[in-house]
Amino acid sequence: MDTQTYLHHTFIISDGDFTDVVCEDCAVKFAEERGLEWRGGQAYNSFTEELEGSDAHAGDTPTYALGESDHPYSCCGYWLHTTLTEEGRRWVAEELSPEIAELYLG
């Protein structure tokens, strides 16, 4: 895999029974598999229209809406933009490659 040069945007998927943080490709695939109509283009301001009789939805989410995390999110081998707690910042500095840590810690 090539070195990652930016943090990928985060998307939320949910069907009423589960919720997950994923990359854009997985959010689009989730929507397609459930017959949801995708709106808004790519990344920012992208979401699915409500489907009558379904709790499923997918869409981009600002990281502040996710809250802080002790570990960064990843999907499909890519690190996703994540707001980190102090514990999370320490974990990133100690456990991730210097190139990826720099993306999070600037």
Parallel, antiparallel, or unpaired: how do β-strands 38-39 and 19-22 relate?
unpaired
Q: Give the pLDDT of residue 105.
A: 96
Residue length of the chain: 106
Task: For 35-66, write each residue's pLDDT tens digit.
Answer: 887 776 655 556 565 666 667 777 777 666 77
What are the residue boundaries of the structural domains of the chain, listed by start?
11-105
Reading phi first (left if > 0) and then psi (alpha if -120 to 50, else beta), residue 76 is in left
Token couple for 97: 């490659």
26 pLDDT band (50/70/90 cuts)? very high
**What was the pLDDT predicted at 92?**
97
Average pLDDT for residues 75-92, to the nearest whole number?
96
The per-residue pLDDT for 77 is 95
